[in-house]
């Protein structure tokens, strides 16, 4: 009798332990999947200062973010199936070939570049003097087949091609693509303040007949203005805050009352000329802006041309997606299409 009871007790214990292992795996075992969800809509007042003075006027411009959960457990992946604005993706789809640390570093460089471009665009629109110092071009990502893989790192700044400097990232790219595939090129670059050199044969860029180095590049510049503008986004990364950084800067340096005491949200990359570019996850950004109480949402409006669709057949115009999302959630928030910083300022001045 005692033996039977002992066996039964061990059987129940084994079942209980097995159940704990299964539940623990469902809740905590990391998969190779990530989940994108609506993130946050945050006032830019703490992030942008002019001559160390912050914005004290009523209302606020808000940058909007997408939240990333992961690596997600099986339980979180199941939960995401019941969330209307949650999207799952693999690590490769989210980060490419980058490690998590490289991806985080890349996002920081993107937002630094966005802040620099925003200041230049705002001062140009306000017709205020601005001096841009071209330091070179940031290395933002490196293809596996790049001849400079293992030589350059994310965050390096390329300053010369075969000993020659260029005035912009476009000029560097044109100079590289003007050469023949297989020709040798020596790059001069800086890393942590030290100068280095690396040589390699130019590769054929995927999907083209052009020569390249297999590296994604962006401008590495510093800006000098009067008054002095400082942008510090903290832990937020990525390029999509550019438009809202520019609006905040423009409002402060011109002392205009453009918000009418309201919360104004939006998203979009920006270049130094004030052109607004497409971003990802705009449906999630519309959702979080609405929940935060925004009255206006600026959305990049870059129509799907034949050239764009040839490169990306799945391309969807940000403004169109934002309008569709706004209708689906029943928001009264006004969705405003913008192609330039000027478009956003004109809307605020004339509404």
Q: Which residues are catalytic?
A: 240, 285
Helix axes 318-329, 282-292, angle to 10 degrees: 50
147 close to 159: Cβ distance less than 8 angstroms: no
Q: What sign for the dihedral angle of Cα 240, 120, 59, 256?
A: negative
Determine if the peptide bond prior to 24 is cis (ω within 30°). no
Give the residues across from 245 on adjacent strands: none
Strand 157-161, strand 184-191: pairing: antiparallel
HSE-up of residue 313 (Cα within 13 Å, Cβ side): 0
Q: What is the DSSP letter of 333?
A: P
Please name which of 289, 297, 292, 290 lies closest in space to residue 268, comparing C-alpha atoms.
Answer: 297
- Report how far residue 348's alpha carbon sits from residue 48's, in angstroms, rounded to the nearest whole number: 19
């Amino acid at each position: 009798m005692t033996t039977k009871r002992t066996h039964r007790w061990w059987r129940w214990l084994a079942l209980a332990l097995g159940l704990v292992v299964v539940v623990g795996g469902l809740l905590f075992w990391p998969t190779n999947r990530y989940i994108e969800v609506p993130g946050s809509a945050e006032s830019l007042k703490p992030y942008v200062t002019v001559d160390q003075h912050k914005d004290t006027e009523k209302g606020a411009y808000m940058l909007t973010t997408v939240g990333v959960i992961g690596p997600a457990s099986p339980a979180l992946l199941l939960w995401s199936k019941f969330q209307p604005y949650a999207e799952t993706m693999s690590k490769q789809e989210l980060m490419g070939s980058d490690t998590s640390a490289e991806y985080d570093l890349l996002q920081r460089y993107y937002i630094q570049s966005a802040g620099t471009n925003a200041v230049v665009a705002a001062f140009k629109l306000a017709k205020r003097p601005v001096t841009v110092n071209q330091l070179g071009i940031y290395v933002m990502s490196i293809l596996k087949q790049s001849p400079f893989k293992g030589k350059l790192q994310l965050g390096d700044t390329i300053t010369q091609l075969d000993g020659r400097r260029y005035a912009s990232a476009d000029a560097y790219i044109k100079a590289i693509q003007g050469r023949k595939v297989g020709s040798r090129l020596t790059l001069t670059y800086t890393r942590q303040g030290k100068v280095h050199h690396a040589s390699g044969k130019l590769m054929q860029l995927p999907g083209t007949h052009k020569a390249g180095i297999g590296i994604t590049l962006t401008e590495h510049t510093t800006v000098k203005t009067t008054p002095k503008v400082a942008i510090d986004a903290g832990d937020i990364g990525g390029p999509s805050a550019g438009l809202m950084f520019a609006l905040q800067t423009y409002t402060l340096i011109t002392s205009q009352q453009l918000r009418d005491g309201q919360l104004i949200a939006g998203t979009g990359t920006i270049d130094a000329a004030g052109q607004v570019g497409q971003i990802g996850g705009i449906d999630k950004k519309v959702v979080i802006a609405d929940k935060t109480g925004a009255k206006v949402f600026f959305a990049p409006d870059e129509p799907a041309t034949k050239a764009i669709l040839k490169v990306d057949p799945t391309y969807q115009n940000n403004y169109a997606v934002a309008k569709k999302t706004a209708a689906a959630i029943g928001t009264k928030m006004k969705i405003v299409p913008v192609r330039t910083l000027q478009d956003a300022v004109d809307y605020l001045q004339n509404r």
